[in-house]
Every structure is written in C-alpha cells, then in structure tokens.
Amino acid sequence: MKVLIVHAHPEPQSFTAALRDRAVATLEGLGHAVKVSDLYAMRWNPVASAADFSSRENPDYLVYALEQRLGVKKQSIAADIQGELDKLLWADLLILNFPIFWFSAPAMLKGWIDRVLVSGVCYGGKRFYDQGGLAGKRAMITVTLGGREHMFGEGAIHGPLEDMLRPILRGTLAYVGYDVLAPFVAWHVPYISAEARQDFLVAYEQRLQGLADEQPLVFPKLAQFDEALYPLS
Amino acid sequence: MKVLIVHAHPEPQSFTAALRDRAVATLEGLGHAVKVSDLYAMRWNPVASAADFSSRENPDYLVYALEQRLGVKKQSIAADIQGELDKLLWADLLILNFPIFWFSAPAMLKGWIDRVLVSGVCYGGKRFYDQGGLAGKRAMITVTLGGREHMFGEGAIHGPLEDMLRPILRGTLAYVGYDVLAPFVAWHVPYISAEARQDFLVAYEQRLQGLADEQPLVFPKLAQFDEALYPLS
C-alpha cells in the first residue's frame, strides 16, 4: 500500500507530530511505502489565487476551479500544487493529520485542500461522491483536540464530532470519491499526562495495523439521484 | 450599529465582491458605520504560527491558544492580528462574506478565524456559546456557491447546507457568543444570468434592511450543562 500523510501543526514537537511519526513507523513496519507532506515545515502556501496559474484561460476574471481544470491539462498549474497532486494520485491511502482548530482543519491544511484537490482530476461535473476522481482509494483523518470525549455525541454540548467534521469527511474526502474511514481522535491532548499520550499512540498503532479490515463510513451514492440530482426515492 | 464585513475572494470583480459592496451601501444608507477587511487585498497572512508572538510564555513549545491569551495581555501579539481584533471588538455585527470552498470557508478566511478569534478575549475556560466573549453581538455569513438549491436540504444529495456549515455557524460564531443569523446564500452563482445575480443583490439588500427584526438561530446554552459540561436533563 502507498500512503500519503499530510501533516499540519505549528509546533514541530507536538503530540500531533508524534502521531504522524508513529504512523510512519507502523505503516513502514508493515511494508507500506509512506510519503509525508509536513505543511509547516514545507512553508506551504495555503492561499488559492491567480498566482497559481502561469497562464490563464481567462486572464481578466478568475474562476478558480475552471483554471485548475485547464491548468492541470496544460501544465500551467503552480509547481507546488502539481507536486502535492502527484503524491495524492500516487497514494492508495491519504491520512490528514492535524489539530482541530475551530472544529475544523487549520488554515494551513484547508489551503492544501483548496489548492491540491483540483477540479477535473479529483472531481468535476457528475464525478463526485462514489463517482469522484479518487474513487477506489481510502482516506482518514487523525486529529487532536482540547475537548473531552463527553463533550461530543448525541445530546452532548458540541453534538457528535462527526457532525462538526462533516465538511471534511463528507464534503471533501467522500466528495472526491474516497472511502472514508472513521476519524482517529486523541481527546483533551493539551491537558493529559505523558502516560495518557502513550496510550493514544498505542491505540493508533493498533488501529493502523487493522486498517485493511475496516469498513468505511457510509455516504450518498450518485445512483440514488436522478440526472438533475434530485433524490430518486 | 457598527458593522465589520470580512471578505475573502481571490477575484476582485467577483459576485461575492458585489454582495460586499451592496452590503456596505445598504448599511451605510441606513446610517450604520461599516468597516471592511478585504483579506486578499490586504494580503492577509492566514497561517497561525510562532511568528504571531513577539515574546513567548514558552519559547520552547508552542501552545497557540495559550500564547494568544498572554500575547493579548502583554501586547506581544502580531500587529495584523491586533488590528483585526480591534475591529472585531468595535463591531456590533460581523458579516463573513465568502465563496464556499469545500463546503466551508477559503483558507484565507479560515486563517483569519484561527488567528483573530483569540483565546482569553473571544472565549476561554467556561466562556463559550452563550457565555462567549462576544455575547451580545450578532454575526451572519453571506456565501456564494456553485451548487443548486435543490442539492441541499433533508434528503438532498448534500443534506442541509446548515449541517455542512456547522463548524462555522455553531463551532465558531455561536461558540464565541454571537447571536448567529441565518446565512444569506446565493446559489449556482458561476452559472446564472446577470438578471439572476441582480435578484440576489436585491434580496440581500432587503434582508439587510430587516436585520434588526430577525431572530437568531438556536444553539446550546451553558446553563443546560453541569460544571463538567455533562447535560443536565
């Protein structure tokens, strides 16, 4: 299996980084090939802009998705985007590894999503959800957060974490065709003991060792909708 | 009323920018004071990092929220953050004005949220939801998107738009104490006629004129939970 881990944390010594390192060691130990994009270390540019295209279909008015589509075809898309896209297409499994900022990804990682999941390759027209450009591949998110586990779930103060993560799980990863696995969540990280952190690392390692047998989360399939995308039933 | 509009779109001539301009004209016409943060025009830095603090409580290990808390107190937080925070605290109404990228905010705007909604001022400890630091103020989001209206809602292919927007509506704006108004949504924008765009501008103007009478969306209140944040009922 080929694995891409995209990591985004402003502190190089963070526990989130320890999760990344444990994933690399575990997956390589299982014989998989692993690449890591460490966005802060790479000084990744998260801002989608006109500067992402060396030539434009419409130089007077930027429609970002349209220029992505043409930019990939004509190889006029920025080199940093193409480099990440190559890794993305190489990988059978994508792991997004990040601390929860505002119940979602840090801007650094959001900008990787905005720029790298290019229209025309990852999705486009009727190519989304199970028909997405990355169908047949798997993805998961590995997240750290400050909240305690009992603050999430039905009736809990923040509701189910999966509901807060819906734009990334369903609206992004499932949208481009990935089979999306359940998130791996390390709770209350800034406040827990070194032993509790070790427990999370061990649980993560075990989770990664059994990944092949996991069933993905369930999302809509295009066959459930008509040509105009109205529900069939 | 004092209004801050935070605008993030990579194309200066976008319809999203027309919505921003219509809001400024309408609100100023009603006698309100309006400030605009145009993040692309400002070349806003969306990346939360150690560089945001001129001195650090812990120079060896970055806990971003902790350094925010101390940085605001000691005036060691970056000048661009302090400038935006001043506008945020000045405003009675915050409007986030953006195109939907991946069912959420562009990285440029996400990075404004990551950096400007500082711990210790906007939230902290038990100061969140109705007890948040910005309680008493109102916020709304004004968004453009490519999808059609029938693709959203119960049973629709993407489900309710408000569910996709949960991290920003509930997890961000309601979390810091805002009374959050329903989003203003312009659907299918890249594909519609100039007349249809005018209709959205007129509808937006009418919406803004009646804003004072609107009831906010309903979110959890801390009084519904015990000291450890378990639900009381």
CA distance B108 to chain A (A): 6
Q: Looking at this predicted complex, what is its ipTM? A: 0.97
What was the pLDDT predicted at A129? 97
Mean pLDDT of B212-218: 96
Tell me how far apart the alpha carbons of residues A68 and B213 are, in angstroms, rounded to a whole number. 42
In chain B, what residues touch A158 (CB-CB under 8 Å)?
170-171, 220
Which distant-in-sequence residues (6+ apart) come within 8 Å of A109 by Cβ?
A6, A8, A39, A46, A96, A98
Contact at 8 Å (CB) between B94 and B139? yes
Whole-number average pLDDT of chain B:
97
How open is the CA angle B84-B219-B107, to the nearest 5 degrees?
40
Residue from B38, B69, B166 whose CB has the most chain A CBs within 10 Å, to mutate = B166
Tell me how far apart the alpha carbons of residues A196 and A211 are, in angstroms, rounded to a whole number. 23
CATH superfamily ID and name for B2-224? Flavodoxin domain (3.40.50.360)
Helix intervals (H) in chain B: 15-29, 64-73, 79-90, 107-116, 161-164, 166-168, 194-209
What was the pLDDT predicted at B233? 75
pLDDT tier, B52 (very low <50, low <70, confident <90, very high otherwise) = very high
Nearest CA in chain A to B65: A101
Helix intervals (H) in chain A: 15-29, 64-73, 79-90, 107-116, 161-164, 166-168, 194-209
What's the burial of A3, exposed, middle or buried (CB within 10 Å: 0-12/13-18/19+)?
Answer: buried
What was the pLDDT predicted at A233? 76
Mean pLDDT of B19-24: 98
Contact at 8 Å (CB) between B101 and A49? no
Tell me how far apart the alpha carbons of residues A81 and B103 are, in angstroms, rounded to a whole number. 20
pTM metric for this prediction: 0.98
Tell me how far apart the alpha carbons of residues B110 and B141 are, in angstroms, rounded to a whole number. 13
Contact A40 B49 (CB under 8 A): yes
Tell me how far apart the alpha carbons of residues B143 and B9 are, in angstroms, rounded to a whole number. 11
pLDDT tier, B230 (very low <50, low <70, confident <90, very high otherwise) = very high
Task: Take residue B181 and report the two structure tokens written for it.
Answer: 């108004």
Which stretches of chain A drop beneath a pLDDT of 50? none
Residue type, A109: L
Contact at 8 Å (CB) between B159 and B112? no
Query: What count of residues does chain B have?
Result: 233
Tell me how far apart the alpha carbons of residues B179 and B114 are, in angstroms, rounded to a whole number. 20
Among candidates B20, B77, B18, B8, which has minimal Cα distance to B44? Answer: B8
pLDDT digits (tens, 9 = 90+) for B54-84: 999 999 999 999 999 999 999 999 999 999 9
Residue type, A55: S
In chain B, what residues touch A225 (CB-CB under 8 Å)?
157
In chain B, what residues touch A148 (CB-CB under 8 Å)?
229
Contact B107 A40 (CB under 8 A): no
In chain A, what residues touch B172 (CB-CB under 8 Å)?
102-103
Contact at 8 Å (CB) between A132 and A173? no
Percentage of chain B modeled with pLDDT above 70: 100
pLDDT digits (tens, 9 = 90+) for B149-205: 999 999 999 999 999 999 999 999 999 999 999 999 999 999 999 999 999 999 999
What was the pLDDT predicted at A125? 87
Residue type, B8: A
Tell me how far apart the alpha carbons of residues B26 and A168 are, in angstroms, rounded to a whole number. 35
